Amino acid sequence: MANRLIPLLAVALLVASTAAAQDLSRYSDDGLQAELAQIADAETAVLVPMRDGAGLSTNVWRPKGTTGRLPVVLWKTPYNEHVPRGGTARYAIEAVRRGYAFVVQNERGRYFSQGKYEILGYPQTDGYDTLDWIAAQPWSNGKVGTLGCSSSAEWQLALAAMDHPAHAAMVPMAAGAGIGKVGPFREQGNFYTGGVPRTLFGVWMYGVDNPLRAELPQDLAGKLRARVAGYNDLNAKKPEVDWKKHIWHLPYAELLSSLDEPPGTFEDLIARGPGDPAWKTGGLYDDSMGWGVPALWFNSWYDVSIGPNMALFNHARTVAGDREAADNQFVVVGPNPHCAFAKLGKDYKVGDRDMGDASFPVDGQIWAFFDR
């Protein structure tokens, strides 16, 4: 039973965290950024070098005035979070308040990061190299916890198979699209269900894949890069699409090209079958990889991949080779839709269904797990 539900590790810590989270929930994005600037020293738009020479744009926040080595929480994202906002900003503030360094990195080919975009950003190379970089910094104690929901969780899975010595713990939330194959599920990152492409994937790709994107000059670095990044968000504003109508376009393989989009990731993936060996060359997790990291999973019944999510949790509990990791897998399953864990509370409704009191100290459990 201990492996099925995370125990209350520190009641006082949970109460304090819940109060802090409620306090931060009332902040606007401007208020969150002001609070973070007040309590943290920041390095922004740092180019972290990957093994192939590409640099990934990375922000670091540390408790103001701290000179010692700190544990680190890493949040990796394909989204526009160079300027912290919303949940990412709240987690950054919580991390700094608790004595952690908080690192946000843009995936390869997104916003200020160099290189060609790849879904989940090559976690077994880019993710591994990022952990190498963090562990080598003078402000790092060499222990890193990875955190995030959806895409910011999905890249963590294949990285966990690498068992990097600095990867001390992970909190993947709603991570189903990072699973290539586990047990009977072969959905290839939510691309397929029973061999049929999911239409949600094409819509998502329209938003995140920009094959002909704007970039900063490759040789721009240091303070000048950080300054320019402060007033250029490189956030492409694509034309609005009436997806209720356009999702019916046939042939489906031309869903995006029919909008005059340049060829990109969608065209590459739609050409593959569910069992194509090319799925194993990117960032998806395959259950032949192994597992090496203690994890606190957050899943939800009302999500597209609860089956693969729970199958992977159970796989991580039983995989041979790392008993400590296998014995420290815990899961919370909420009655919420995708990534809506922070909204759980009293008189909770999902769609038209009344769930009653769905209160749960999500943030408290996360920080208690990282502290442990």
* pLDDT tens column, 213-246: 888 888 888 888 888 888 888 888 899 999 999 9
Confidence of residue 369 (pLDDT cuts 50, 70, 90): very high
pLDDT at position 33 is 86
State the DSSP code for 250.
S
- Number of domains comprising the chain: 1
284-332 per-position pLDDT tens digit = 999 999 999 999 999 999 998 999 999 999 999 998 778 999 999 999 9
CATH code of residue 351: 3.40.50.1820
For residue 1, pLDDT beyond 50: no
Query: Residue 55 falls within a domain, yes or no?
Result: yes
Question: Which is more confident, 100 or 219?
Answer: 100
Phi, psi of 63 (to 5 degrees): -50, 130
95, 234, 323 from 285: Cα distances, Å: 28, 30, 20
Query: Residue 4 falls within a domain, yes or no?
Result: no
Separation between Cα atoms, residue 253 and residue 337, nearest integer Å: 28
Share of the chain above pLDDT 90, in %: 70
Query: Residue 3 falls within a domain, yes or no?
Result: no
The mean pLDDT of 94-103, rounded to a whole number, is 96
The mean pLDDT of 349-368, rounded to a whole number, is 95
For residue 98, pLDDT beyond 80: yes
Query: Residue 195 falls within a domain, yes or no?
Result: yes
pLDDT at position 232 is 83
Residue 58 · residue 48 · CB < 8 Å: yes
pLDDT at position 144 is 98
pLDDT at position 23 is 74
Separation between Cα atoms, residue 371 and residue 296, nearest integer Å: 12
Query: Residue 319 falls within a domain, yes or no?
Result: yes
Domain boundaries, position 201 = 11-371
Separation between Cα atoms, residue 123 and residue 151, nearest integer Å: 12
CB atoms within 10 A of CB 196: 10
List the one residue out of 334, 356, 350 whose CA is nearest residue 149. Answer: 334
For residue 184, pLDDT beyond 50: yes
pLDDT at position 24 is 75
Separation between Cα atoms, residue 319 and residue 310, nearest integer Å: 14
Separation between Cα atoms, residue 212 and residue 64, nearest integer Å: 39
Q: What angle do CA 84, 211, 242 make, to 5 degrees?
A: 80
Query: Residue 5 falls within a domain, yes or no?
Result: no
> Which residues is 360 bridged to in the sheet?
none
For residue 255, pLDDT beyond 90: yes
pLDDT at position 268 is 92
What phi-psi label fits residue 45: left (phi over 0), alpha (psi between -120 and 50 degrees) or beta?
left
Residue 218 · residue 114 · CB < 8 Å: yes
Query: Residue 2 falls within a domain, yes or no?
Result: no
The mean pLDDT of 247-255, rounded to a whole number, is 96
Query: Residue 6 falls within a domain, yes or no?
Result: no
- In this structure, what token pair is assigned to residue 34? 């002001």
Confidence of residue 26 (pLDDT cuts 50, 70, 90): confident
